[in-house]
Amino acid sequence: MDFRIESDSIGIKKIPKNAYYGVQSLRGANNFKITGSKMHREFVKSLIQVKKAAAITNYEIGMLDGHMAPAIMMCCDEIINGGFQNEFIIDPIQGGAGTSMNMNANEVIANRAIEILGGEKGDYSIVNPNDHVNMGQSTNDVIPTSGKITTIKLVSNAINKLTELVKALDEKSKKFKNVIKMGRTQLQDAVPITLGQEFEAYSSVIKRDIRRIRKAAEELKIVNMGGTAVGTGINADKEYISKIVYNISMVSGIDLKQSENLIDATQNLDGFSAISSAIKTCAVDLSKMANDLRLMSSGPRTGIGEINLPAKQNGSSIMPGKVNPVIPEVINQIAFNIIGNDVTITMAAEAGQLELNAFEPVIFYKLFESIETLANGVDTFIDNCIVGITANSKRCSELLNNSVGMITALTPYIGYKTSAKIAKEAINTGKSIKEIILEKNILRHDEYDDFINPSRMVKPEYIRKTVKCK
């Protein structure tokens, strides 16, 4: 392999001659062999969009030469459109607050721009990674801004998936509106509810999650670009500071705003904590829903068996005919992972010191994973589970009629103590509460059917009747 020699403040290093990355990128790649992964492709795109906007801004204010700016911008467009992805060689978890990420972008852009201008890669007298590509910038404003842009893009896709889930749940709610079943609290029989009402509740909580995520994502539109190292704007032209965020908005298509306090925006990563928390809360809600579906479909013959989940694959290598709730199970596992990621993000955001938080790389690594696994999980949840759920109406009715929870409707008229005695007798004898009530002449047959009417009991407007009980 042919090499070229590059140097930095640490010393000299051999770089593969055809590589677009440079000495600082290679040092970072060698120092941080951590996850075996590379920077997220969407993050690379966001980072290059920031670089393109910086070149545009520096050109507009006369800081970047007219022959150099078009070459830098052309290179940025090539990368944004998917080119040179193998040249981004840095592990997503790294020390240095993302300096290796930033320099990887600077070096790839510089070397490709050099090539466009007719030079040879590594000849930084033509285009310099630091002086020209990184002009007016610091890792400390470029990396958090790129992370915010990436998060907003990924969140947008997740919200689209969650919106599709709401639609699927709403459709099931309508389909199951007349399926009356026994509601349960603490896994014990409670009072009647419809399967449709349960699915409507699932839809409601996901709608709330969407609102929460959107609100957190809005905060991420406030960026610290122009703050450079610590938020004071050192080494950045005043005109650059005033124009850079607008140009990033134009390039990225996201309506960003410059923070009113660039020092605060450089020091603190609470926006990432907030969006991670919103994603975690959504994952918790999805996991709870998955738990319910597993319980309601359990058995099916020896469990609750009120709903049927679509069969997606064999459930056992030894038990013929067994089908497991694999999609709800993967939703549970996604939630466990997201909860763990949120802990990592929380600790990393807290660990910042003074003017900078050095732990943005791990925040981005875990946050991007959380958002993507949530979106992918919701996608399979809809297609491979929710849309295929059917109600076992006969089983729902059977469990409802055998439950002692129906006695609750009589409590206002015969008293809690008497109702409890009837419930206890039903449990001990196996008789239904209807049998006991009729045997004891507490109600006539027609009165019982009027009082204990499940179709009326599930409605919010259920009104206590004034029939006098014996």
Nearest to 196 by CA among 211, 209, 210, 183: 183
Classify 13 as helix, strand or coil.
strand
Angle subtended at Cα 345 by Cα 340 and Cα 350, rounded to the nearest 5 degrees? 130
Following CA atoms 46, 108, 133, 106 in sequence, which dihedral angle do they give, to the nearest 10 degrees?
Answer: 70
Tell me phi and psi for residue 188, to 5 degrees. Answer: -110, 150
Residue 251 near residue 56 (C-beta atoms within 8 A): yes
3-state secondary structure at position 252: helix
In angstroms, the CA 72 to CA 77 distance is: 9
* CB-based contact 129:347 (threshold 8 Å): no
* Per-residue buried b or exposed e for 345-369, using 16+ beta carbons within 10 Å of the residue's own CB: bbebbeebeeebbbbbbbbbbbbbb
Element (H, E) at 436: helix 433-439
Among left, alpha and beta (phi > 0; psi -120 to 50; other), residue 237 is beta
- Is residue 25 flagged as an active site residue? no
Q: Which of 276, 316, 393, 403 is catalytic?
A: 316
Positions marked active-site: 316
